[in-house]
């Protein structure tokens, strides 16, 4: 019998601190009108000093697990998609595993920029289809605010922090990832890159002075790339699933730029009422953007159980990914909450490196925090 991976729970966490375009006007040569018309972004959520990627991942994950009625110890695998982990090593997925109390559960981190969540979803589906796993937690989380130059108006206005998570469970009911497309073109790597901190430019005073520790982006090239691949990737995923645009109930794209989303939807013949957009509130939260949007789509009644959804993303690599996902009724029993006891421990700052000074968030330069 064919095995499917139904999505039975979802959750999100965004930091409470909101930085508006007007706030950014105080420190940057930018303005609300430019940001809104060019990107669709009005505000973004930015973490406070001391918050970490593992913490926000755990917060999103516990909601998703609660909704699915899955205790962390019953997970078979945890995949965390992020390009802004707590540390280069250990992998942040192990911090999430430990923080959830998912004792000895296998965990890995998938580093793929903004396409990370869709790559993780497609990967999880394979573990379930093969019979290797029954229940998988997938998290997309980013603290991009720690890796942008808050003096670079071409990048910093675009990004926000946040996390989203889903639980995927084996079932014989056709559901979950019905089709997916994964693509990569490394020849465009330099258009979206964080050059420092890896093996090529390891941390050094010279590399810090040269500003290699911040994201650099050639916005125009990324824009051209995105408009070239998104609509096509979406159409390919529909074709592979044997579906037409009219069979899709809601299109949930990566939230990077509303103009890119509009073009992709037009290319795939999806009308605006079938397109979910929340970029105005969060900016680009990279690997977290699709799971956060998924949660909001359900909260707002735009998505419902039984729907067929289409996800599409693009990002660093350069990479792209799309998936057609059907969400059906959860047939598993849902017991009550398990996580309260763990929260206090994991929400104490710097729990792992107890003697380190709290990090100064780049966004602390914004007027709100001054
Ligand atoms: N405020 C005011 N002016 C600005 C700003 C700003 N924040 N940023 C750039 N400008 C200026 C530029 O300097 C330029 O001025 P000039 O004409 O005097 O040289 C002018 O605005 C136009 O710049 P463009 O780059 O041509 O503007 P464009 O319409 O292309 O929009 C943008 C720029 C929003 C970055 C767009 O190219 C884009 O969205 N690209 C894709 C970016 C993206 O999605 N990145 C993330 C993808 S991967 C991931 O999600 C992690």
- Residue pLDDT tens, the chain, 370 long: 789 999 999 999 999 999 999 999 999 999 999 999 999 999 999 999 999 999 999 999 999 999 999 999 999 999 999 999 999 999 999 999 999 999 999 999 999 999 999 999 999 999 999 999 999 999 999 999 999 999 999 999 999 999 999 999 999 999 999 999 999 999 999 999 999 999 999 999 999 999 999 999 999 999 999 999 999 999 999 999 999 999 999 999 999 999 999 998 888 888 999 999 999 999 999 999 999 999 999 999 999 999 999 999 999 999 999 999 999 988 765 554 555 445 555 555 445 554 333 334 434 444 343 2
Burial 169-178 (b: 16+ CB within 10 A, else e): bbbeeebbbb
240 Cα to the center of ligand 1, angstroms: 34
Tell me, in angstroms, the distance from the centre of ligand 1 to residue 161's CA: 20
Alpha-carbon distance values, 156 to 244, 285, 319, 330 (Å):
37, 12, 21, 40
User: What does the domain layout of the chain look like in residue ranges?
Assistant: 1-358
Residue 331's pLDDT is 74
Fold of the domain spanning 1-358: Peroxisomal Thiolase; Chain A, domain 1 (3.40.47)
State the closest ligand 1 atom to the C-alpha of 153, by its place in the atom list counted from 1. 7
Q: Where are the beta strands (DSSP E) in the chain?
A: 4-13, 18-20, 43-45, 77-81, 106-110, 135-142, 162-171, 176-184, 192-193, 216-217, 250-253, 308-315, 319-326
Q: Candidates 33, 38, 316: which one to mutate for ligand 1, based on the most atoms within 8 Å of Cβ?
A: 38
Please give the model's pTM, rounded to 2 decimal places.
0.90
């Amino acid at each position: 019998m064919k095995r499917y991976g139904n999505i039975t729970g979802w959750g999100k966490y965004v930091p409470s601190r909101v930085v508006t375009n007007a706030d950014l006007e105080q420190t940057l040569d930018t303005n609300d009108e430019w940001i809104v018309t060019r990107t669709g972004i009005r505000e973004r959520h930015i973490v406070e000093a001391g918050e970490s990627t593992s913490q926000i991942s755990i917060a999103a994950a516990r909601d998703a697990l609660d909704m699915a009625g899955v205790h962390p110890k019953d997970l078979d695998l945890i995949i965390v998609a992020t390009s802004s982990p707590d540390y280069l090593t250990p992998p942040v997925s192990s911090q999430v595993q430990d923080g959830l109390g998912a004792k000895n559960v296998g965990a890995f981190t998938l580093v793929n920029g903004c396409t990370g969540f869709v790559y993780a979803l497609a990967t999880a589906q394979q573990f379930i289809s093969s019979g290797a796993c029954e229940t998988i937690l997938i998290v997309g989380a980013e603290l991009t605010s720690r890796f942008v130059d808050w003096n670079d108006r071409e990048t910093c206005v675009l990004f926000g922090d946040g996390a989203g998570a889903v639980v995927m469970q084996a079932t014989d009911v056709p559901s979950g990832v019905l089709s997916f497309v994964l693509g990569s073109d490394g020849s465009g790597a330099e258009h979206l890159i964080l050059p420092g901190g890896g093996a090529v430019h390891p941390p050094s005073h010279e590399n810090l002075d040269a500003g290699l520790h911040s994201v650099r982006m050639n916005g125009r090239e990324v824009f051209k790339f995105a408009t070239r691949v998104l609509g096509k990737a979406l159409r390919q995923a529909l074709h592979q699933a044997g579906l037409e645009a009219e069979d899709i109930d809601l299109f949930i794209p990566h939230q990077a730029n509303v103009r890119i989303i509009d073009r992709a939807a037009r290319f795939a013949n999806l009308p605006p009422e079938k397109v979910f957009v929340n970029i105005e509130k969060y900016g680009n939260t990279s690997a977290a953007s699709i799971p956060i949007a998924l949660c909001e789509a359900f909260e707002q009644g735009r998505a419902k159980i039984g729907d067929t959804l289409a996800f599409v993303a693009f990002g660093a690599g350069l990479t792209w990914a799309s998936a057609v996902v059907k969400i059906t009724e959860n047939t598993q029993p849902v017991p009550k909450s398990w996580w309260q006891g763990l929260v206090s421990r994991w929400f104490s700052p710097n729990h792992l490196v107890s003697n380190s000074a709290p990090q100064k968030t780049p966004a602390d330069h914004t007027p709100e925090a001054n």
